[in-house]
Structure 1
Amino acid sequence: MRTNFYKPFIGFAILLLTISCKTEPEAIDFGKDQCSFCMMNIVDKTHAAQYVTKKGKQFKFDSIECMVNDLSEKNEDEMPIMLVANYANPGEMIDAQTASYLISTAIKSPMGANLSAVSTTEKANELQQKYSGDIYTWQTLKQRLSDK
């Protein structure tokens, strides 16, 4: 008889644990959220970035290079979600590991790396034709930024 009394409480506890461990990204509140790396306000919808840890902790950045620098000290396997702003569609966040990147002095980014991301290699080629610069994958970008 007594176990029937506890069943609703056990179910509720399990529900709370499940909800509290979500690893979904929160939307960046542009103009209010601060960069987790350099502490500047995040205002640029074309260069922002973010990642979420396995435990659901949110880290938001004003530029892709801030996120890359922050991740250089961490284990990426602990970050199931890594997103970057899609330069071709401001405000849209895309997967950092599958995005294509362009470093071009013609496109200024908040921290001066002149780094932008787009969803496909074709889009990166279009941007390169328009603005010049060099195209990178996630792996080659991390290598390039770690060489500085």
Structure 2
Amino acid sequence: MQTLKHYSLIVLFLLLYSCNVSPQAIDYGNDGCHFCKMTIVDKVHAAEIVTNKGKVYKFDASECMINFIQEFDTNEIKLYLSNNYTEPEILIDATKATFLISENVPSPMGAFLTAFKDKSDAEKIQTEKGGKLYTWDQLLTHFNNK
């Protein structure tokens, strides 16, 4: 009976651990981009996807994440995350972010794509640096039409 309780606790622990659907910290300078295979070093433009089962895919730029999801079953994705321009290393919900494409704000893969948690911050940088603002859905359409 004691052995059964022991195995039950192990199984319960494994189930709880394996169902953890949350972001993981990016280890800058060590983690590689799942799409382009470059080492992730840019603390402003990194991105991450978390699947419904908790698998994490890390990217050196939001454009790599967008290119990746064009080849992935998006029904399996729970979280789309991008780093916030005004708070480097802070992942935000990409589906609620405002994105700026400005040639005056370079990103690692050359799409000049930057995410902002607050639209007002994006508008301020747009005023300073130029470019065009996008919502998540507009951004996906933009990349699909390229």
Q: TM-score band (shorter)?
A: over 0.9
Compute the TM-score of the two structures, normalised by the length of structure 1: 0.93
Say yes or no: does 1:60 pair with 2:65. no
1:66: how far off? 0.3
Quick one: distance in 2 between partners of 1:5 and 1:130? 66
Q: Secondary structure at the match of 1:123?
A: helix
Taking only the aligned residue pairs, the percentage that are identical comes to: 42
Quick one: distance in 2 between partners of 1:134 and 1:70? 23
Quick one: distance in 2 between partners of 1:26 and 1:91? 11
1:5: how far off? 4.8
Unaligned runs of 5+ in 1: none
- The 5 A counterparts of 1:54-93 are 54-93=52-91
Alignment match, 2:144: 146
What RMSD, in angstroms, separates the aligned Cα atoms of the two structures? 1.2
Deviations 1:33-69 (A, max 9, x none): 1000000010000100001111221100011000000
1:12: how far off? 2.7
Which of these two proteins has the greater Rg computed from alpha carbons?
1
Quick one: distance in 1 between partners of 2:138 and 2:96? 12
Quick one: distance in 2 between partners of 1:147 and 1:9? 53
Alignment match, 1:25: 23
Q: Secondary structure at the match of 2:88?
A: coil
Unaligned runs of 5+ in 2: none
Q: Secondary structure at the match of 1:55?
A: coil
Quick one: distance in 1 between partners of 2:54 and 2:91? 17
Q: Secondary structure at the match of 2:110?
A: coil
Aligned residue pairs total: 146
1:21: how far off? 2.0
Runs of 4+ off more than 3 Å: none
Q: Secondary structure at the match of 1:97?
A: helix
Quick one: distance in 1 between partners of 2:98 and 2:58? 20
